[in-house]
Structure 1
């Protein structure tokens, strides 16, 4: 069974917001959001230790404890170990994400892509998630946005550590699949070029959206499709700016980005559609994409996502987007099928 089949549909749920991304989310609201996702038919849940220093995993585990494990697909990540020591969350250096989880738990986070840390990370995640297995495990953030010029050194540690451990666990049937979960295209291209254990899937956040997709189109998407590596698109709303928010790339959006979004919004209004619908359906139009996992921290957002997925978008909208250079000329579009 391919990853595409395991994901049980096109829309998943990204739990980064449940780690108190940008704001302190009440526990009841977080749990209600997961329940709303379930009631709306979502059965693909993605999380990570980094999200609030384990907070998102704890909340997801509590919310899903009443569900039968065989009824949903669960992915988490390795590369960070959460300790019982404490630090000020607001002072954490999280690469380009800055203090995005400043409202998370105070537990200290240690970056480690080695073999032993990978096994420990999985064991700790299973405890927080109250489950006995993970379906997909991604190696998290081994890229430039977290390590700058030193990212290749981190990648090499992962290559001889996490990659090989996860490949063995998949072959033993302990996990169903593994891959990389990053915000940059380069690590994914590099892994596809190596004569190393080959991944099953990539979770690519923010790099295949209406606002940023050209680099992924050039080489990554064709190479992934050729290798049979499914792409899961994270962050389809570009940190919220495409869904009515103010953030882009985990920071306040620049005037240039705001102007581009306003341009897209004007075309959408002209054709009577929502920008959120355009963002979701654009990502899913590429044949290499198996699923899209927008995040949410409020229950009502889940129904909005499902409505956006079902919304009818006329081909003339996509034609206008292409003609005004708001999407790449070679980007697959839903309107191309009409």
Structure 2
């Protein structure tokens, strides 16, 4: 069946809201602060909201559902993800490593089951609808189907998804239940692999951290051209590279290393000379690629929303971009803002 709509057709704007922080990413965010952040996004005109069951074991979806309840459903777009099912069962995390005790240590204690099968995909969407307090979602991404999560087992997981989640989502799209589906990953390899398949046929990709000012070489060379040629689209997640681009302590969800600190310092020195904010540099760089349909910076404080919106409107002189290229701080083939 022919594809019903492109990602750019579906998304209402180029700036969206990434909900990972609402799942208590890295810190215990007060409920009122989380809800106020979504309210600020709405009042600033943001109408695209990305979520996932994995963010705080359903906490981010619950908070977003509460914050958006009462808003006209036909005025905003939601994407969420499949690949993990959240159980009512409480999990003892005392002996665990990884995201339950690190990135989302302050999330809900519910057990998270990794499952890319057909039935689990349908259940995941059904559960997300309840948490989000809505009767439909526009976009479903298959989450974290990559080596950074599964190591040597990632190809085995990919085959599980190919025979399960991909087919389930392809059918849901063709039936009009969702408008689009694709992969939501932190690596380019799964996107390359799925684009080589004859079927099923994804519509879009959410690529987190791999098409940013600090890290874009692989995506630029190996993914963006194929996506553009096929008329698909990319949502760029983590445009600030886990926050380090704008002064945070983490890169790739871990403490930043000295060589990356040096690169950031060089970019910031040039930005300061031109009076450019690092947020403007990061967002506008990602959006300059024609394959990119939207960026979704995360936020957990209302003030951050206004900063992101202002960064998109900020005037950045062409000389700034040329100097970054001359200094070897961006790939020479990367499209730059006009």
TM > 0.5: yes
Cα distance in 2 between the residues matched to 1:320 and 1:171: 47
Distance of 1:221 and 1:198 partners within structure 2: 17
Aligned Cα root-mean-square deviation (Å): 1.2
In structure 2, the partner of 1:49 is 53
**Within 2, Cα distance between the matches of 1:98 and 1:261?**
28
CA distance in 1, matches of 2:211, 2:169: 25
Deviation at 1:243, TM superposition (A): 1.6
Asked whether the 8 Å contact 2:186–2:210 carries over to 1, the reply is yes
Residues in 1 aligned to 2:232 and 2:93: alpha-carbon distance in whole angstroms: 35
Taking the aligned partners of 1:18 and 1:89, their CA distance within structure 2 comes to 20
> Counterpart of 2:131?
128
User: For 2:223, what is the secondary structure of its paired residue?
Assistant: helix
Give how far 1:91 is off.
5.3
Q: Which residue of 1 aligns with 2:37?
A: 33
Match of 1:144 in 2: 147
| Cα distance in 2, alignment partners of residues 296 and 91 from structure 1 | 30
Would you say the 8 A contact 1:89–1:103 is kept in 2?
Answer: no
Of 11, 14, 29, the residue aligned with 1:10 is 14
Gaps of 5+ in 1: none
Q: 2:179 aligned to 176, 179, 189, which one?
A: 176
Is 2:245 the counterpart of 1:242?
yes
Whether the 8 Å CA contact 2:17–2:298 is kept in 1: the answer is yes
Q: Which runs of structure 2 are paired with 1:1-338 in the superposition (5 Å)?
A: 1-89=5-93, 92-94=96-98, 99-334=102-337, 337=338
Do the aligned partners of residues 93 and 26 (structure 1) sit closer, same or farther apart at CA in structure 2, a change above 3 Å counting? same
Is the CA contact 1:89–1:105 (under 8 Å) kept in the aligned structure 2?
A: no
2:141–2:182: 8 Å Cα contact kept in structure 1? yes
Judging by fraction of residues, say which structure has more helix. 1
- Equivalent residues, number: 334
Q: TM-score, normalised on structure 2? A: 0.97
Deviation at 1:193, TM superposition (A): 0.5
Map Cα deviations across residues 120-172 of structure 1 (whole Å, 9 max, x no partner).
Answer: 00000000000000100000001011001110000000000000000000000
The CA deviation at 1:88 is 4.0
How far, CA to CA, are the matches of 1:103 and 1:91 in structure 2? 16
Q: 1:206 to 1:111 in 2, by over 3 A?
A: same
Contact persistence 1:133–1:175 (CA under 8 A): yes
Residue aligned with 1:239, SS: coil
